[in-house]
Structure 1
Amino acid sequence: MPVYSAFPDIDIPSKDIATFLLEQADARLAKAASNGDKEQPLAIDATTGDYIYLAETKQMANAIAGALVDRGFSFQFDPASFQPENVAVVFSSADIRFIAINLGVLMAGGVYTAVDPHSEAEALAQRLMDVQAKAVFVSLDLVPRLMDAIQLAHLDIPSTNVFLIQGTQEPFTSISMLKHQKPCALPTLSAEQLANKVALITFSSGTTGKPKGIMLSHRSVVSMYAVFGSAVAYRDTLTKYHSMNKQHKVLSAFPLWHIYGFALLCYQSLYSGCCVVQLPEFELTNYLQAIEQYRVDRLVAAPSMLHTLLAKSARSGPNHLAIKSDPKRKFDISSVQTMSCGGAHTPPFKLEQYSKHLSIPILAAYGQSETLAMFTCVQMTKDAPSAACVLLSNSVAKVVDANGQETRGYGELCVYGPSLMKGYLCRGKGPMTKDGFFRTGDYAQLTADGHLFLRGRIDEIIHTHNGQVVPVDIENELAKHPAVEDAAVIGRGCKGDQQPIAFLVLSPAATIKSLNDIEQWLEQQLGVIFYLFSHIVNKASMTKKDTSGLSDSMPEPMVFEPSKEIMALSQKGGLPMVLQTVVATMFAWLIIILPATFILLFVYISWARIPLAIYATYCYLDPSISNGVGRRTEWVRRLGIWKYVNAYFPVRLVVEQRLDPSLSYVFGVSPHGILCFSGQVLIGSQESGLDESLEGITVHPIVLHHALQLPLFHEYGLALGSLSSSRESIRRCLAHGKGDSVAIVIGGAKESLHTNRGERKLVLQNRKGFVREAIIAGAPLVPTFIFGENDIYSQLEHPLLRKVQLWLQSKMMFALPLFYGRFGIVPRRTPLTVVFGSPIMVSKTASPTYDQINEIHARYLNELRRVYKRFQPKYDPEGGVKGNAGTRMQSSNKPSDSGKNKSFVVYRIDTNGVEHPVEGHYATREEAEKVAEQYEQLGHKNGYYVRSAS
């Protein structure tokens, strides 16, 4: 049974955010005035000493709201839309005027969102496109970067809609110059409007891939603060912290684009009357100095901040902390009475260490951006040392196992309550159970009395051959060892046979020899034996973490190497090597061999002509070609012969982000190569590891319709799951959902004419049909790049030949490349690396406009360029893309042979992928290519290629 909150349900006010918070603030101010109390500021800038009061905030908010209304902002409501309109973006370092900006945007009927001020122009442009920004509030120093981003995003944001938070500059509008407007407010909203009208868009941390836009409604925010009152009362009872005659000062170093920091500054100050002392970022000395200067009595911190406090400061008497690196620097922290900790999981023993170090109670909280930062109330750790917290009022939770059945053991935490988000930007409601619970993805246990125990994320669990290993358990044990300062544990290898790997930051006193002690100690503690990979690094070179303690860099991709059996076979000589060569050549030419075999049978076996003619007619008319389902045959994909193909072309798969198997995807594949041969190796065979790396996803390769009508090849193509390239076929497939996806080689026939060893030329600028189909189906686009495809065969180069080929391609829609490999027809032995980039989410539109298609197409090209740049140095060191990826991505590693001082060297690749130069330099590339061919003809089984000696 689901577990309900121990607190009684309360009535949620039917008011919009601005009305609710300002009424609370006005009532509190009136009461203070009647008691003769002096008004305190809502917020103080700890860096400058500036402060802001309620009256000033209301006046500025009204002026901003009026200015936005004059520029076209209005209340618009579409309960079914997941792409809100009238979005205002804040792009600025921390500023206490964010309170007024947020209220002004909401009062004008708009939607508020903020962007990390450290974002580069490209990242900012992406965010502006994601939310379809209509206005921007920006600090003066960031204006040039904003202008670059607007240009990159191709958005029409006039200069009158760019507001400067500080300073003045033509032709932009400074908020300090806005004239006072009449009181501005939203109309009275119905319950449905409050629950569905988007007020805020915040973005997830992106720890498992690209950040997702989280849409929060007016009711989400109001309900969170209404039920928060019961949590505050509970906490105050425990800590005896509450005082009606005192305004509390709360210190925050959370960034204001983070939901936790934003809600604290903009909403908590109005709701509870606390004064927020705001720091732009966390730095230990400034943090302790602000506590002392402003007599802060409550801290709100993330685990990473607490870790720094513990590691870099020391007690100096009962009321002071000193900086370890400079013991003379002492700060009075006697004013601090309590601290709240949230933003990331913190083990209980760590909370106890922090509490003892600061001599104050540490209050734990749990929540996600999707639940508006807090779903459970704080609770003193001494009462339930292992528990995170208990549910807030009006909230329900349950835990389900892998089969979706409720359990009292550990499983996925699912929650339901009024503060839940409306959904993800352009993506719908997100992962929900059938009965409306939000699936958090957290691995947790929930007791009958409502105590919540957390053990990390579901997708971080390591699946070994001996069962599941939870990384958090190992990290917590490692953190207890005196030689370990920080630790992270991940799984490496294939699911079901993964190996836990620990990355350690050792304490200053530790040495490499400490690793043996740590391994033995951990084995005694957990009984788990695994290899420890140690990274002893300076703090400055560690992976950057944001203030919540989560990694701020793009997560490491999942890499699936060829199996040991395949690698062992690829290294064998003699008959196995011959079989590999023969089988690989046969598969490369099947599109010619199979139809040619049919023709020979038809010509030379007279009695079989009628049944063969009937069969050819069947192939031509077979509806399986374009029914969106195909006729994928698993026993064909399991044939033992595939292992020889995979040994000839060992396939490494790199997945940037695990894909949701409940969705359909459009995989945009580049480059085309001569025969798209890697597609057969990758999708046709279970040996490639595709089914494992894209678990739950069924990929259907898209093939020319007429190619699937060719007799015999018809059966082969359908057995691999191929579908026709017709629109109807693609749309029917994507309509199924549940992982049914299509792989489309974007460059097409024209790109095959640019296939040469050592070159990376892509024809993409006018290839937009795949984008249209993705938008119509609402299917995310996955940029996919195959390193090695263009090295299998090379196109013969001749100006006259090229003209004839292009003419034929324009008339027949099919290229006739003349190409060569080893001995002419044998494909070159080449390792393949297939990189699946992060999916690009699209909003489903039945009839997309040209502008919509162009926008998504530009995003796709940018993502493909990013994927190539990220992985090219490792998997294609000879490549180097120049020019605009939207037109042609061309490698720079094939220099002109006309240069007088050029020379070329033949390189050999050994079985471990290491390259070795072969003795001798050659004046022209053609000479070097001939030598490479001679080596291969002598029976050397490893790959050879030519590179400029310069």
Structure 2
Amino acid sequence: MTDTAHALGASRTFWELIERRAALTPERPVLLQDDRTLTFGELRERCERVAAGLYGLGVRPGSVVAWQLPTRVETVLLSFALTRIGAVQTPVIPFYRDREVSFALRESKAGFFAVPGTWRGFDHTAMAHRLSAGLPRPPRVLEAYDTLPDGDPAVLPPPPADGTAPRWIYWTSGTTSDPKGVLHTDRSLIAGGSCLAHALHLTPRDVGSIAFPFAHIGGPDYAVMLLLYGFPAVLFEQFALPGALTEYRRHGVTVAGGSTAFYSMFLTEQRKDPTRPLIPSLRLLAGGGAPKPPELHHAVVREMGVRLTHGYGMTEVPMITMGSPDDTAENLATTEGRPPAGMEIRITDGEGKALPHGTDGEVRLRGEAVCQGYLDRGTPAFDSEGFLVTGDIGHLRETGHLALTGRIKDIIIRKGENVSAKEIEDLLHRHPAVADAAVIGLPDPERGERVCAVIEQPAGTAPPTLAEITGFLRAEGLSPHKLPEQLEVLEALPRNEALRKVLKYKLRERFA
């Protein structure tokens, strides 16, 4: 990290970081979308005017403001304006509907709710009013798609000075139960973004891209990176390939990605014409949010001619580890990278006792980027020594790299033996008739659980049989007791709309 970026990373609050960057490079661009360009100086000025407009509507320091908006310049302005006031903001993924949205509004006790009106054929305003009517204190509904409140910054109180107060509520996916509201501070988000920026070795000459919902925890993570290094990012309100390629090429994007699913989509497009680079300016794919099969890493590097660095994060800790472009190919392919200074990783047994390097156990975390817990303070988050209990399984190498091998709930117990779903999935990705794979455990009266492989195929390939799949896995060295006993072939695996994670609970419901 450069000296300037390091100094900016010490900012106490998000707004202080915005002000300091605007003072350093006011004329440099920061947000690019379609034909619009916003500089760092304009960002600060516009945010103050929007903050004044929100203040005129009654938003005060500590007011809870929910917003469910797509990835647009206006969304970034609204979010940063709320940091100027010192409001508590709770972003909601724009694809969520009644169940998740009503839960977020009710649990956060939001006083304001910003929506995009009718977006992609869905009337968010109507949903907002419908859900608000059932709350004890209905929030004020604001439409904030292309028009934001405006006012004179002279009315504003001083910006917040305390960066350790919880002012952000993010929501876990809630795929098997109600979502959890995760409490973050300005400092925890700045620490997470600093980790990402430090690992990727970015420069002011880079051009980034935000192709995922800005309402995701990755939104502020990426924004911090822009502010630390002073480079711009292209915003994508809707991401689909090949349509989005025009914007990547027009703006000369050098860093792209988002998650494993994004890597696969770029690779699929590259394979349509292997003779020319898909995005000539691109030098790095980076992301996280879901496991990365080693074979996918090697294929991207080999066929696209770019580096691929993958990291490990979660709503509770936006950036834990990250692969670095100067890591070895083996570490980039088979680990999630290393943690930055200040992030403690402890691998423990079932009772919380620390385990040595190379031994699989539960991953526990402590550091400035870790959240302050959950909105429902009765929900356990930390152990007795203050480490966040993640539910992920992995081990640390002697080099400090973290290798994830699964989740506690993703371990299949077959006849009393533990079977790692991720181990089988990584091997399945080597099969030419497999574009993506999810391995799940299904109830079985004789075995306790049976191993079921669900695969998504590349276009134009014949579906494999169970015998072909098990024969392939045997040849790859998989132990016989881990072989799938059931095979399901789908045109597309079910995914969420944020980082395109596979929703295994839907597969379990379908095939149980």
Alignment match, 1:82:
none
Matched, 1:157 2:142: no
Given residue 263 of structure 1, which amino acid in structure 2 is its aligned partner? Answer: D
Alignment match, 2:121:
none
Residue of 77, 82, 89 corresponding to 1:105? 82
Asked if the contact 2:189–2:221 (Cα under 8 Å) also holds between the matched residues in 1, the reply is: no
Deviation for aligned residue 1:212: 1.4
Given residue 444 of structure 1, which amino acid in structure 2 is its aligned partner? Answer: G
Deviation for aligned residue 1:301: 2.4
Deviation for aligned residue 1:406: 1.2
Aligned residue for 2:365, secondary structure, equals: strand
Q: Deviation string for 1:460-495 (max 9, x for gaps)? A: 101122511000001111111112222211112279
Residue of 329, 351, 357 corresponding to 1:382? 329
Alignment match, 1:307:
264
Residue of 186, 196, 201 corresponding to 1:218? 186
Aligned residue for 2:16, secondary structure, equals: helix
Whose strand fraction is larger, Structure 1's or Structure 2's? 2
Residue of 447, 454, 475 corresponding to 2:397? 447
Q: In structure 2, what is the Cα distance between the partners aligned to 1:554 and 1:62?
A: 43
Q: In structure 2, what is the Cα distance between the partners aligned to 1:220 and 1:182?
A: 29
Matched, 1:407 2:384: no
Q: Which runs of 5+ in 1 are unaligned?
A: 1-8, 30-38, 77-85, 168-173, 322-332, 562-950
Residue of 382, 396, 405 corresponding to 2:344? 396
Matched, 1:528 2:493: no
Cα pair distance change 1:10/1:292, threshold 3 Å: closer
Deviation for aligned residue 1:261: 3.5
Alignment match, 1:194:
163
Alignment match, 1:59:
45
Q: In structure 2, what is the Cα distance between the partners aligned to 1:262 and 1:553?
A: 27
Deviation for aligned residue 1:523: 3.0
Matched, 1:23 2:20: yes
Matched, 1:268 2:225: yes
1:691-840 aligned within 5 A: none
Q: RMSD of the alignment, in Å?
A: 2.9
Asked if the contact 1:21–1:271 (Cα under 8 Å) also holds between the matched residues in 2, the reply is: no
Moved more, 530-539 or 445-454: 530-539
Aligned residue for 2:500, secondary structure, equals: coil
Q: In structure 2, what is the Cα distance between the partners aligned to 1:215 and 1:50?
A: 33
Q: In structure 1, what is the Cα distance between the partners aligned to 2:459 and 2:487?
A: 14
Q: Deviation string for 1:531-550 (max 9, x for gaps)? A: 543333333xx423434231
Q: In structure 2, what is the Cα distance between the partners aligned to 1:402 and 1:462?
A: 16
Given residue 131 of structure 1, which amino acid in structure 2 is its aligned partner? Answer: S
Given residue 44 of structure 1, which amino acid in structure 2 is its aligned partner? Answer: L
Given residue 16 of structure 2, which amino acid in structure 1 is its aligned partner? Answer: T
Matched, 1:360 2:306: yes
Q: In structure 1, what is the Cα distance between the partners aligned to 2:177 and 2:451?
A: 21
Q: Deviation string for 1:424-463 (max 9, x for gaps)? A: 1123573322111111111100124311111121111011
Asked if the contact 2:51–2:151 (Cα under 8 Å) also holds between the matched residues in 1, the reply is: no
Given residue 498 of structure 1, which amino acid in structure 2 is its aligned partner? Answer: E
Given residue 308 of structure 1, which amino acid in structure 2 is its aligned partner? Answer: M
Residue of 165, 174, 184 corresponding to 1:206? 174
Deviation for aligned residue 1:57: 2.2
Deviation for aligned residue 1:553: 8.4
1:635-650 aligned within 5 A: none
Residue of 96, 107, 127 corresponding to 2:104? 127
Alignment match, 1:948:
none
Alignment match, 2:211:
253
Residue of 44, 49, 52 corresponding to 2:32? 44
Q: In structure 2, what is the Cα distance between the partners aligned to 1:399 and 1:100?
A: 40
Matched, 1:182 2:130: no
Q: In structure 2, what is the Cα distance between the partners aligned to 1:15 and 1:428?
A: 29
Deviation for aligned residue 1:185: 5.8
Cα pair distance change 1:417/1:345, threshold 3 Å: same
Cα pair distance change 1:523/1:210, threshold 3 Å: farther
Cα pair distance change 1:27/1:427, threshold 3 Å: same
Q: In structure 2, what is the Cα distance between the partners aligned to 1:472 and 1:551?
A: 13
Alignment match, 1:433:
383
Q: Which has the larger radius of gyration?
A: 1
Q: In structure 1, what is the Cα distance between the partners aligned to 2:464 and 2:8?
A: 61
Given residue 213 of structure 1, which amino acid in structure 2 is its aligned partner? Answer: G
Deviation for aligned residue 1:227: 4.9
Q: In structure 2, what is the Cα distance between the partners aligned to 1:251 and 1:555?
A: 30
Cα pair distance change 1:117/1:317, threshold 3 Å: closer
Cα pair distance change 1:552/1:149, threshold 3 Å: farther
Q: In structure 1, what is the Cα distance between the partners aligned to 2:207 and 2:411?
A: 40
Q: In structure 2, what is the Cα distance between the partners aligned to 1:179 and 1:350?
A: 50
Matched, 1:462 2:412: yes
Aligned residue for 2:114, secondary structure, equals: strand
Aligned residue for 1:290, secondary structure, equals: helix
Q: Deviation string for 1:901-950 (max 9, x for gaps)? A: xxxxxxxxxxxxxxxxxxxxxxxxxxxxxxxxxxxxxxxxxxxxxxxxxx
Q: In structure 2, what is the Cα distance between the partners aligned to 1:24 and 1:383?
A: 37
Given residue 378 of structure 1, which amino acid in structure 2 is its aligned partner? Answer: G
Asked if the contact 2:69–2:114 (Cα under 8 Å) also holds between the matched residues in 1, the reply is: yes
Alignment match, 1:504:
455
Cα pair distance change 1:315/1:381, threshold 3 Å: farther
Q: How many residues align?
A: 494
Deviation for aligned residue 1:220: 0.9
Alignment match, 1:673:
none
Q: In structure 1, what is the Cα distance between the partners aligned to 2:83 and 2:495?
A: 34
Residue of 537, 543, 556 corresponding to 2:490? 537
Deviation for aligned residue 1:69: 3.4
Cα pair distance change 1:554/1:22, threshold 3 Å: farther
Asked if the contact 2:242–2:269 (Cα under 8 Å) also holds between the matched residues in 1, the reply is: no
Asked if the contact 1:207–1:550 (Cα under 8 Å) also holds between the matched residues in 2, the reply is: no
Given residue 271 of structure 1, which amino acid in structure 2 is its aligned partner? Answer: L
Aligned residue for 1:356, secondary structure, equals: helix
Q: Deviation string for 1:265-300 (max 9, x for gaps)? A: x43333321211011232111232222111111113
Identity %: 20
Q: Which runs of 5+ in 2 are unaligned?
A: 1-5, 119-123
Cα pair distance change 1:12/1:52, threshold 3 Å: closer
Cα pair distance change 1:225/1:123, threshold 3 Å: closer
Aligned residue for 1:459, secondary structure, equals: helix
Aligned residue for 2:25, secondary structure, equals: helix
Deviation for aligned residue 1:415: 1.0
Alignment match, 1:69:
55
Whose helix fraction is larger, Structure 1's or Structure 2's? 1
Asked if the contact 1:487–1:502 (Cα under 8 Å) also holds between the matched residues in 2, the reply is: yes
Deviation for aligned residue 1:311: 3.0
Deviation for aligned residue 1:122: 4.7
Alignment match, 1:88:
65
Cα pair distance change 1:129/1:381, threshold 3 Å: farther
Deviation for aligned residue 1:397: 1.0
Q: In structure 2, what is the Cα distance between the partners aligned to 1:377 and 1:442?
A: 16
Alignment match, 1:420:
370
Given residue 400 of structure 1, which amino acid in structure 2 is its aligned partner? Answer: T
Given residue 194 of structure 1, which amino acid in structure 2 is its aligned partner? Answer: G
Cα pair distance change 1:68/1:121, threshold 3 Å: same
Asked if the contact 1:221–1:419 (Cα under 8 Å) also holds between the matched residues in 2, the reply is: yes
Q: Deviation string for 1:685-722 (max 9, x for gaps)? A: xxxxxxxxxxxxxxxxxxxxxxxxxxxxxxxxxxxxxx
Q: In structure 2, what is the Cα distance between the partners aligned to 1:101 and 1:223?
A: 22
1:851-862 aligned within 5 A: none
Cα pair distance change 1:145/1:463, threshold 3 Å: same
Residue of 453, 461, 468 corresponding to 1:517? 468
Given residue 108 of structure 2, which amino acid in structure 1 is its aligned partner? Answer: V
